[in-house]
Structure 1
Amino acid sequence: MEIHPDSKQLLELAHYKMPFGKFKGRYLVDLPLPYLVWFRQKGFPEGKLGNYLNIMLTIKDNNLEPIIRKLQKDFPRQST
């Protein structure tokens, strides 16, 4: 099975920030694992945020956070 990740979506995920709650304004990669697990138990929100939280949980479960942090460093978010 060959996997072809969407590079634009991966960069967006690397720079996506939590829009509400206790961790509002933090990058999803900086959310604590127990918070992501809680979301999985309660149900992820609908839409892009829920999808990204689910992906981030998988990334953290597999200790792949350094990849996201490298993307943040190598491809900083452009100011508009």
Structure 2
Amino acid sequence: MSEVEQSYDSQRLKIVEFMEAQGKSNKDVIWAYENIKNPPYKFAKQDVSAVLSGKRKYTQSIKWFIAFLIEYWDIK
């Protein structure tokens, strides 16, 4: 795994830990995403689980999605 992929994987894990600590579920992620006007990428509901579980490669759209969640929930 490249350094960039490791960084995004670390951020993904922060999101998962935050969700567990706050009692949030994939439904909360889907709600946040669906409330974006004109999102730059399209994701199906089943994509959310795959992204959060790390089953998808870190493409540009996945990187954007992870960055969006980090900023949306103000995760440090």
TM-score in terms of structure 2 length: 0.33
- Larger RCO (CA within 8 A; separation ≥ 6): 2
TM-score in terms of structure 1 length: 0.32
| More helix, by proportion | 2
